[in-house]
Amino acid sequence: MVAHRSPSESQPDQPHRLRIGLFTETFLPKIDGVVNILQLLLRYLASEGHEAILFAPSGGPDEFAGFRVVPVNGITAPYYTELKFNFPRSDSFRTLRRFQPDLVHVLHPFVLGPFGMRMARRLGVPVLASYHTDIARYAAFYGQGFLTGFLRRYATYLHNQATLTVCPSSVLRDDLRRQGIRRVRWWRRGIDTDLFSAGPVDPKVREELTQGHPDDFLVLNVGRHAPEKGLFGLRDRLFPMDGLRLAFVGDGPSHAELRAWYAGTPTAFTGYRYGEDLVAAYRAADLFVFPSTTETFGLVALEAMACRLPVIAARRGGITDTVAHNRNGLLFDPENPGEIREQVRQMRDNRSLLQSFAEAGWQHALRQDWHSTMDQLVGFYRMALRQHGIFG
């Protein structure tokens, strides 16, 4: 074991600055909720004067927010092409040891994360594990349902090796505790409310997303196109409905199949959009629909709310921490195909109701800024340090 110094010993003039070793199973150029949160975290750590090093799948940038990114090679998962099994090089431990982390943070440990956990044990530093994706539930969508039990037991084992586990919703926290994971805390999610904000509609974007029918009612979905997202079921639930248009902003393994499925319907596909272009898409729509039943949080729903776009979502998982039924949006039963159809029709035909949900959702989103989210996470870092017997 390597002799470890406390954070105060490492920087006596700035006792509250931390050195964090991060391990992630996914990073740029891939875009998903984990990557979005990780980018916000790295920018936050830099702005607050903390130090970080990131071990991530190869193919991305060499640095981010001024921090070194150590590339890790891997092989593509046979049943989930966007996932890689990443294995660190033999010198990765020396790289981490030279960095002298106060704590190791593993983002959804699966293959690379457990290596990071073992390195932390060798260095004598605590581990914070963040739970982001219900991989066990995804398995059934990829014809691997027989792995569900094993994957749940594996996740339970890994997270119980951590000093502390954090997860993005109260629903998931309770599920993980019932699953047998100990020391679980709710790490609330936030967004960049300076970027995602209400504003005027860009007529050109509205024209594009409605395919030249800007007076129609525009329903938007943003995110990855994958089997577990529930996107294929929207077609028969929304069409035919008079005066309605649908737009998908995103991409993913099911993109080509999804386009073929919606052929002949008033549906636009734009690919991924980022930054102000994504904000413009939110602002141009009338309603955001989120049919996924596998979300641990659902960051895009909060982004939509921040742009004053009302949300209809499936009553499953972590999204219920964001969408309060009949208060700032609507939740539908995914087992009842007609319910979402009636909710969309209700929103289309009742503009005052649409606007009241838009206002309530916007007010909720304003309180979920990313800076307070990251403040909370650093508080959990210090909690893990204290639990490990190190001054935080």
Kindly list the averaged pLDDT for each block of 10 residues, start to end, along the chain of length 392. Answer: 45 66 94 90 97 96 98 77 74 96 95 95 98 80 82 95 97 96 96 96 99 98 94 95 97 96 98 97 99 92 98 95 97 93 97 98 95 96 92 56
What integer pLDDT is reported at residue 81 of this predicted model? Answer: 62
Closest by Cα among 115, 340, 119, 302 to 222 = 302
In the chain, the domains with their CATH numbers are 7-190+370-387 (3.40.50.2000), 203-366 (3.40.50.2000)
> Hey, what amino acid is at 348?
R
Q: How far apart are CA 140 and CA 122, in angstroms?
A: 36
Q: Are strands 103-107 and 244-249 parallel, antiparallel or unpaired?
A: unpaired
Q: How far apart are CA 63 and CA 71, in angstroms?
A: 10
CB 93 within 8 A of CB 122: yes
What integer pLDDT is reported at residue 11 of this predicted model? Answer: 38
CB 115 within 8 A of CB 57: no
The CA–CA distances, whole Å, from 110 to 16, 154, 385 equal 30, 9, 23
Question: CA angle 291-146-250, nearest 5°?
Answer: 30
CB 84 within 8 A of CB 77: yes
